[in-house]
Structure 1
C-alpha cells in the first residue's frame, strides 16, 4: 500500500510509530450480564410495544398495492422485451455456426 505524501516527502516509519505511541488509549468496558425477564413482564413489554405500532389506513394499503402491481407489470414488460431481443440476437449469432 502506498504511503501518504507530506509536503516534505514521504513519512518515515519513525514518525508514524511516535504518533501511534502518543495516541490516547481507549478502554472498553466488559458487557454487563443480561437481566432475566419474567414471563408476565415480557408480555406487558410486548403489549406496550404493540401499542406503538401505527397501522396504515385502508386507503394507504390500497394505493401501495396498486403501485406494487403497476411496478410488477412494468418490470415484466421490460424483462420480456430484453429476453425477446437477447433470443433474436443469440439465434442470429448461432446461425453463423452451421
Structure 2
C-alpha cells in the first residue's frame, strides 16, 4: 500500500511541535467598560429602529396565511396516511400469530 504524502511530499518529524517551531503567543485585550445609555436616548434609539420595520400588506398576509393552511392540510393528510399504513401493518403482523 502506498504512503500518503503531505502537500510538500515529505513528512515532518513527529518531534517538532508548535512550541518548538516558535509559535507566536496570542494576547487578548481587555474590553473597555461599556458606556451607559440614558433612558431618553434609549427610547429615541428604539423609535429609530421601529421606523425601519416593514410590515406586510394585507394581501401578503392573506397569501401567507392561505399557504400555511394548505401546508398544514398536506402534512395532516401525509401523517394520516402513514399512521393508517403503520396501523394496518402492525395489525397484520400481530394477526399472524393467531
> What range is the shorter-chain TM-score in?
0.7 to 0.9
- Considering Cα pairs closer than 8 Å and 6+ residues apart, tell me whether 1 or 2 has the greater RCO: 1
The count of residues paired between Structure 1 and Structure 2 equals 93
Q: Once the two structures are superposed, what CA deviation does each residue of 1:50-83 show, in whole Å capped at 9, x if it has no partner?
A: 0011111111111111111110010000000000
Alignment of 1:11-90 (within 5 A): 11-15=12-16, 17-18=17-18, 21-90=21-90
- Going by fraction, where is helix more abundant, 1 or 2? 1
Distance 1:12 1:95, change over 3 A: farther
Structure 1, unmatched stretches of 5+, are none
Shift of 1:11: 4.0
Distance 1:47 1:13, change over 3 A: same
Structure 2, unmatched stretches of 5+, are none
* TM-score (structure 2 length as normaliser): 0.79
C-alpha root-mean-square deviation of aligned residues, in Å?
2.2
Shift of 1:19: 7.5
Shift of 1:20: 6.8
Shift of 1:43: 0.8
